[in-house]
Amino acid sequence: MWWGRSAGGRWTGDNARVIVDCAIYQNGCRTEGPEDLSDALDAARASGDAFLWIGMYEPTEQEFEHVSREFGLHKLAVEDALTAHQRPKLEVYDDSLFVVLKPVMYDEAADTVTTGELMLFIGDSFVVTVRHGEGAALAAVRRRLEHEPEVLRHGPTAVLYAVSDAVVDHYIEVAAELQADLEELEAEVFSPNPSDSKNTAARIYGFKRQVLEFRRATNPLLQPMERLAFGEVPFVHEHAQPFFRDVADHLTRASEYIDGLDRLLSDALAAHLAQMGVRQNDDVRKISAWAAMAAVPTMVAGIYGMNFEHMPELRQVWGYPVVVAVMVGICLGLHRMFKRRGWL
């Protein structure tokens, strides 16, 4: 026996570590089937209206070998599923479809976007899901489908739709969270009392990197979803196309949302750099104004400090106060002029 379930419902056998769940669904309902994988697949195919759904988490090559052999999965798709680090895509093979999705998670405390990987093998009477990363657990999707037998009756197509819909809907939720954080960042950029400029620029740049990571998950998925929505793809029920069109529409909205975030971040960075330039110009003007006022007494004191004997007013009683008064008057005049021009 390769796998089975104990009395408590836990998976046992050689691959118990990677088997998340496995069940036969017939006429939209979960049923108990043979414990042997080969027998379960044969039973699903024999019934005509049933399919087998097996979910796995980060299997090794040895752990996945039996599954790939029993289901007749293409070796190139198997290699991609085991290696991970794939772009979202849809590939059609003789006996199955291979779909790669990249679920997105956002850690608001750390301001970081992380992506997992979710691979689906869709056949005539089976679904194999392979998950990499901590996010994108499919337990909630499976439970939701099990409470919607009218959807599950569409077979493996229903699983592909439900998983794609859950992943894409979460894109929109993460984009909304990023939008809220971006509004806080914009308020900081345009604050009259900005914080450390270097820290703000670093935050904007880091935010752009998170958005770029997000775009790598969404943009490549547009074409596969359009193929599922408008093209004739094997192993996909024709009546499911309107559902995939809805997923494609949500994905387009998420992609446009992310593109908008990227443009706003670029504008915020440009505005921040412009503000830094304006503040630097203000600082330079203030320094220049004070330097100009300091130059007047420095010049006069320098002239009278040259120790010549024959200089005007040297021996006059009123010479010193007059020179000091002239210096103060010139400095006050410069201060007034700079104040009018907004330099001080």
- Indicate the burial class of 160 (C-beta count within 10 angstroms; 0-12, 13-18, 19 or more): buried
Decide if 228 contacts 99 (C-beta within 8 A). no
- Indicate the burial class of 78 (C-beta count within 10 angstroms; 0-12, 13-18, 19 or more): buried
Spatial separation of the C-alpha atoms in residues 136 and 87, rounded to whole Å: 16
Decide if 5 contacts 21 (C-beta within 8 A). no
Spatial separation of the C-alpha atoms in residues 210 and 265, rounded to whole Å: 11
User: In the numeric block, which tokens belong to residue 164?
Assistant: 């794609």
φ/ψ (deg, to 5) at 264: -65, -40
Alpha-carbon dihedral 289, 293, 294, 295, rounded to 10 degrees: 100
Q: Which of 107, 106, 104 is nearest to 115 (CA)?
A: 104
Spatial separation of the C-alpha atoms in residues 157 and 210, rounded to whole Å: 32
User: Which segments in the chain show pLDDT lower than 50?
Assistant: 1-16
Can you list the domains of the chain with their CATH numbers?
3-275 (3.30.460.20), 282-340 (1.20.58.340)
Q: How many CA atoms lie within 13 A of 118 on its CB side?
A: 23
φ/ψ (deg, to 5) at 111: 55, 45
Decide if 117 contacts 86 (C-beta within 8 A). yes
Q: Which of 285, 289, 284, 287 is nearest to 333 (CA)?
A: 289
Alpha-helical regions (H) of the chain? 37-47, 61-71, 75-83, 139-146, 149-152, 156-189, 197-218, 222-230, 241-304, 319-340
Residue 119 neighbours by CB distance under 10 Å: 22
**CA geometry: angle 210, 213, 217, nearest 5 deg:** 140
Spatial separation of the C-alpha atoms in residues 118 and 138, rounded to whole Å: 10
